[in-house]
Amino acid sequence: MRLLHSTDLALRVLMRLTVADRAAGTGTAPGTGTAPAPGTGTGTAPTTREVAADMAVPYTHAAKVVATLRRLGLVEARRGRGGGLSMTGAGRRASVGAVVRHFEGDGDVVECEGATPCPLNSGCRLRGALRRAQEAFYAALDPVTVEDIVASPTGPLLLGLASHRSGPNTS
């Protein structure tokens, strides 16, 4: 199954923000369920523009995805100095399956009733089989949380995305 670009980006944004929160000392350490000691973090909350640059996607696309994540209560956005994006508690505990379902929608894997309906529609069993496969795909992702998918080695790689932006050659 191939995910929509917005679904892929939503998952990557959640992953990026989870490690940013952890670096800032506001997230939970993977596998422990506890936050790091206050003041031990080194990061700052990234902005939507920074996340778009980190993910190499247009700002407008990232902004739409972030807006949806905010509406779902998974991400917080603070304006002004010291502002930026951060995960909510619900966002850190979010099921990857639930996020994927939301962004993918309820559509079928194949389009049987488009402008030119499929002539096999009335007796075809493919649609049902594909729907069951799609649900099995989602079910496999349901127990996986955003925290789970940023465990090492992914977390350090995500932190590296931000460090290339804040290196000595950026102005």
Chain position carrying tokens 């559509």: 107
Strand partners, 75: 87
- Rounded to a whole number of angstroms, the CA Rg of the chain reads 19
Per residue in 102-119, pLDDT tens? 999 877 777 777 777 778
What confidence score (pLDDT) does residue 30 get? 41
The fold of 5-95+146-165 is Arc Repressor Mutant, subunit A (1.10.10)
- Nearest of 158, 142, 168, 161 to residue 22 by alpha carbon: 158
Q: How far is it, in rounded angstroms, from Cα 23 to Cα 51? A: 15
Domain boundaries, the chain: 5-95+146-165
Secondary structure E strands in the chain = 75-78, 84-87
Give, in order, the Cα–Cα distances in Å from 1 to each of 40, 57, 149. Answer: 41, 22, 19
| pLDDT exceeds 50 at position 34 | no
Per residue in 45-70, pLDDT tens? 899 999 999 889 999 999 999 999 99
Cβ neighbourhood burial of 103 (10 Å; 0-12, 13-18, 19+): buried
